[in-house]
């Protein structure tokens, strides 16, 4: 027998803001990494690996333009890079 559970979450205003910030940062990281891979492909360069993208993310967090990426959990940002890899494999 299989069980199934349904959950409904009602975040507070502060939690909604934190979730929106996390989702926005994940979207920016995904789009930045996609742009890097597409530019490399268009230039005829080799495939940009996940390790290189992760290094780029770390470097981007240290710049003034992307310092706000450090305000969210790194797990969320790394997961967006893994999601990009999954999209490329599919």
Q: Residue 66: which domain range?
A: 14-89
In a domain, 29, yes or no: yes
Interval 62-70 mean pLDDT:
92
Residue 72, pLDDT score: 93
In a domain, 35, yes or no: yes
Residue 44 to residues 8, 19, 62, Cα–Cα distance (Å): 47, 38, 29
C-beta separation of 25 from 69 below 8 A: yes
Cα–chain-centroid distance for residue 9?
A: 23
Give the Cα separation of 90 and 80 in Å (integer): 15
Does the predicted model carry a pTM greater than 0.75? yes
C-beta separation of 29 from 81 below 8 A: yes
In a domain, 5, yes or no: no
In a domain, 2, yes or no: no
Per residue in 25-60, pLDDT tens?
999 999 999 999 999 999 999 889 999 999 999 999
C-beta separation of 81 from 53 below 8 A: yes
Count of structural domains, the chain = 1
Q: Is the pLDDT of residue 16 over 90?
A: yes
């Amino acid at each position: 027998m299989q069980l199934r559970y349904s959950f409904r979450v009602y975040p507070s205003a502060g939690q909604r803001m934190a979730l929106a910030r996390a989702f926005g940062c994940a979207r920016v990281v995904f789009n930045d990494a996609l742009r890097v891979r597409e530019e490399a492909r268009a230039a005829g360069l080799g495939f940009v690996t996940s390790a290189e993208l992760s290094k780029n993310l770390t470097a981007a967090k240290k710049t003034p333009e992307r310092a706000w990426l450090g305000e969210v959990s790194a797990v969320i940002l790394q997961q967006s890079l893994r999601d990009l890899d999954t999209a490329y494999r599919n």
